[in-house]
Structure 1
Amino acid sequence: MSSSQDQSLINKVFSSDNTAGASPAVLQAMMDAGAGIQAPYGMDRHSEQVEQALADIFECPVSVFFVATGTAANALALSVYTPPWGAVLCHQESHINVDECGAPEFFTHGAKLVFVEGDDSKISPKVLATMAAPNTADAHSVQTSVVSVTQTTETGSIYSLNELSEIGRICKENGLKFHMDGARFANALVALDCSPAAMTWQAGVDVLSFGTTKNGTLAAEAIVLFDQTSAQEMIWRRKRSGHLVSKMRLISAQIGAYLKQDLWLDNARHANAMALRLDQGLRVIDGIDIQGDTRSNMFFCHMPSAMIKDLLAQGFYFYSDRWGKNIVRLVTNFSTREVDVDHFIAAAKALAEAG
């Protein structure tokens, strides 16, 4: 194969983990599930098997509701715990605030997102403790109802188990529900090297938006209720919102294949490793300043304007400036190859050396 042909096969896209397709096993599972006749609306054997698989993985009984998008998972999860006059405590840089186009407010019929400060896009438990007390005696204020964290955060940081447990303790003491937006749940899990139970219900999490689309499925998310008292309400809310898919087996089958033989964990480990490879290769290049620790599949750095412009002109695709002037975000995924990463590093190095 010629060098020009090799060049044409290089993946230059580092803008998002949503740019990848799906793992072959997931696509095959969808095709298999599409054959034959099965009961609709989640009454099929695939959905039942995946619900049991998630109960096994989390080591506790759970109620599972499959949806096709993370936005639906987050908004529906929050809606069962937050009245229109309620407040969701979250970080200003949380996914539900910056990337959901007001869906949480829409699904809750007007609940307010109230920001809790903290470094690295994470809620500070110390600050949260000062804001979590119920204010039911004040009819002029929104009523705190839910705390929501993004794990992994939008800037690639990860809540430690101690941080999650402290937030969970504060929620319990103040009668608040605890929601975890886990769009990149697997990436955080393998980075912490802990059990799914330890990162969720054992830390006090009541409901998890279990994301899979960014890590190997085509379009499949799950709302996992550890607090099963809200399961009946979720049934109505999912249907009323238009997210009760008739051929649900095509969603649940994706998650079944995703969980089988630890595909989800292997995919996440690979994506995280590729981001770390970017970190190690770019941090030694003059003019590039690494921003924070690379723990998940997102890498941030500061680049000179000319380098950003030239890399984009070469066909690389990534986001810049959203997180600050000349701040670049590079995102890897389960299908990112070492050659793709090395090609980006080599291009950046060549530009730095050329001045």
Structure 2
Amino acid sequence: MQFLSDNAARVHPKVWEALRSADEPDKPYDGDALSQQLDDVFSTLFGRECHAVWANTGTAANCLALATMADPHGGVICHREAHIEMDEGGAPGFFLHGAKLLLADGAGAKLTPDSIEAVLAAITRGIHQVQAHAISITQASEYGQSYTPAELAAIKALADEYGLALHMDGARFANAAAFLGCSAGQAAGPVDALSFGFTKNGALGAEVAVFFDPARADLARWRRKRAGHLNSKGRFIAAQILALLDGDLWLELARHANAAAAEIAAMAGERLLYAPQANEVFVRLTERERAALRARGFAFYDWDDATARFVCAWDTRMEDAAALARAVGSL
């Protein structure tokens, strides 16, 4: 019973169908008919003009977006638990040609205007210190917490005050939108660009950097080519994205993953680190308790010495989630 990661989930059948349907000759790179649909589809989804730049990985989508926001001598404010800091192997520094990540704090791995201002206040204005050029937030956060539209608006107001661009890492954007029960536009708020994750939500390998400024999108396309991420047969990435957006399948799958996580959390009681607002559950467990769960067939990662992480996906069986919930409750 696998709760390691939604990255390990199966590919959704409709994605396989879309890939087979896309297996016809078309223009190479992103000139194919499917890739050419993405701008209009995302513009309809977000309710404002969008420019979509696909990529194979979330790391590439994040870094391509950030590379349009921060100069090599600048910095990006992010949470110290952010994926771009903890899990991308220095890729932001590589794609941004040396730009620095400026680390902030916040409960549940979420930034607030106060925590961002604390970082800004510590920077001496002048050439001798790295100046912030952008802010990066994660929706949902690395602890499975979602930013509300009001929280996003407050962070954007601060970003505008300081002249900073605002980026959103949306690897689990679908799960956040499903939890919030709002539109994609509201779940994204007034960000300047976001990475929209599909691989964790039923795709084989498909991510999108969505820009709300055509100039940023154009710059990202040049950087994508230079970084070696311009696939020759981009129609196969676009096909996955369009299949998951069709009929709001992306939301349906995210709701299932969230429901499975809620099932587990309901039995965790005081062991729960945070009430889940997406598809991840963090539970305080001893080493012996973790061993007992693994002996019963549950696979999961240790988050730290005191916490285990359980991740549900679109294909998580509710009976497995219920079994895990009972097992945790019986410890």
Length-normalised TM-score, structure 1: 0.89
Q: Which residue of 2 aligns with 1:313?
A: 295
Match of residue 327, structure 1, among 296, 299, 307: 307
Decide which moves more: 297-306 or 242-251: 297-306
Task: State the 1:214 CA deviation.
Answer: 0.4
| 1:23 paired to 2:17 | no
Contact map agreement 1:172 1:204 (CA 8 A) in 2: no
Task: State the 1:313 CA deviation.
Answer: 2.7
Task: State the 1:136 CA deviation.
Answer: 9.2
Give the RMSD, CA atoms, in angstroms. Answer: 1.7
Match of residue 224, structure 2, among 238, 255, 264: 238
Q: Which residue of 2 aligns with 1:338?
A: 318
* Moved segments of 4+, more than 6 Å: 133-136
Match of residue 286, structure 2, among 261, 280, 304: 304
Decide which moves more: 331-340 or 308-317: 308-317
| 1:174 paired to 2:156 | no
Letter in 1 for 2:258: N
Tell me the secondary structure at the aligned position of residue 186 of structure 2.
coil
Tell me the secondary structure at the aligned position of residue 242 of structure 1.
coil
Unaligned segments of structure 1, at least 5 residues = 1-11
Letter in 2 for 1:55: S
Contact map agreement 2:194 2:210 (CA 8 A) in 1: yes
Task: State the 1:135 CA deviation.
Answer: 7.1
Give % identity. Answer: 41
Task: State the 1:231 CA deviation.
Answer: 2.3
Task: State the 1:305 CA deviation.
Answer: 2.5
The 1:337–1:229 alpha-carbon spacing in structure 2 relative to 1, beyond 3 Å, is same
Task: State the 1:115 CA deviation.
Answer: 1.0
Alignment of 1:255-270 (within 5 A): 255-270=241-256
Contact map agreement 1:42 1:248 (CA 8 A) in 2: yes
Contact map agreement 1:132 1:171 (CA 8 A) in 2: no
| 1:143 paired to 2:131 | yes
Letter in 2 for 1:73: A
Deviations 1:285-305 (A, max 9, x none): xxx711121221001111233
Deviations 1:199-238 (A, max 9, x none): 32xx330011011110111100001001222222112101
Q: Which residue of 1 aligns with 2:176?
A: 188
Letter in 2 for 1:210: F
| 1:289 paired to 2:278 | no
Query: Could you tell me how far apart the structure 2 residues matched to 1:159 and 1:261 are?
Result: 25
Query: Could you tell me how far apart the structure 2 residues matched to 1:299 and 1:196 are?
Result: 23
Aligned residues: 331
Tell me the secondary structure at the aligned position of residue 60 of structure 1.
coil
Contact map agreement 1:152 1:184 (CA 8 A) in 2: yes
Work out which of the two has the higher radius of gyration on C-alpha atoms and give 1 or 2. 1
Query: Could you tell me how far apart the structure 1 residues matched to 2:124 and 2:327 are?
Result: 58
Task: State the 1:192 CA deviation.
Answer: 1.0
Query: Could you tell me how far apart the structure 2 residues matched to 1:335 and 1:21 are?
Result: 7
Alignment of 1:244-255 (within 5 A): 244-255=230-241
Deviations 1:18-68 (A, max 9, x none): 11011100111011101x210011111111223211111011111110100
Query: Could you tell me how far apart the structure 2 residues matched to 1:250 and 1:236 are?
Result: 20
Query: Could you tell me how far apart the structure 1 residues matched to 2:329 and 2:102 are?
Result: 43
Query: Could you tell me how far apart the structure 2 residues matched to 1:134 and 1:25 are?
Result: 50
Decide which moves more: 119-128 or 263-272: 119-128
The 1:231–1:348 alpha-carbon spacing in structure 2 relative to 1, beyond 3 Å, is closer
Tell me the secondary structure at the aligned position of residue 169 of structure 2.
strand
Contact map agreement 2:282 2:310 (CA 8 A) in 1: yes
The 1:134–1:126 alpha-carbon spacing in structure 2 relative to 1, beyond 3 Å, is closer
Contact map agreement 2:266 2:325 (CA 8 A) in 1: no
Contact map agreement 2:77 2:102 (CA 8 A) in 1: yes
Length-normalised TM-score, structure 2: 0.95
